[in-house]
Amino acid sequence: MDVSIRKAARTDLPAVYGLVCQLAEYEKEPQAVTVGVEQYEEAYGQNLIDVIVAELGGEIVGIALFYLTFSTWKGKCLYLEDFYVKPTLRQYGIGRKLFDAYLNEARRLGARQAKWQVLDWNQPALNFYEKYDATIEKNWWNGKIFLHDSQDK
């Protein structure tokens, strides 16, 4: 399988958005996506997000969407917001290639750690991260407050 792994271009953002929507469906929360491609383009143009894509036959089939953040305890971090490969193409090593590219980007940027979230019921994902000897924290709970719920997809 001839999969190409590369940094996304602005023209890839509609396909990236489509895969994020598929991820939201997989995670049983399609209604939670309340932004549209325009917000992706704006964030991309402001260097708030970056994306590595997996491309097969001219089609984007996987994404690793991330951004730089800072831990007051650890320093610079690269946070993986969305990581997704089309279900029919899993088991071909595409996820491994994307995740390795994400980790390489974290190293290139001088990040002290790479972080992400995983749902406790997503056993395939947990098994995937286990192969990397990742630490999956179970003692920290997420907190959030929605300041503005935009419905302009």
Nearest to 119 by CA among 32, 55, 61, 50: 32
Q: Could you give the CA distance from residue 17 to residue 47 in angstroms, rounded to a whole number?
A: 16
- Catalytic-labelled residue, pool 17, 26, 44, 129: 129
Q: Could you give the CA distance from residue 29 to residue 23 in angstroms, rounded to a whole number?
A: 9
* Amino acid identity, position 37: V
Q: Could you give the CA distance from residue 64 to residue 16 in angstroms, rounded to a whole number?
A: 9
Q: Could you give the CA distance from residue 153 to residue 39 in angstroms, rounded to a whole number?
A: 9
40 noted as active-site residue = no
Give the active site residues.
129
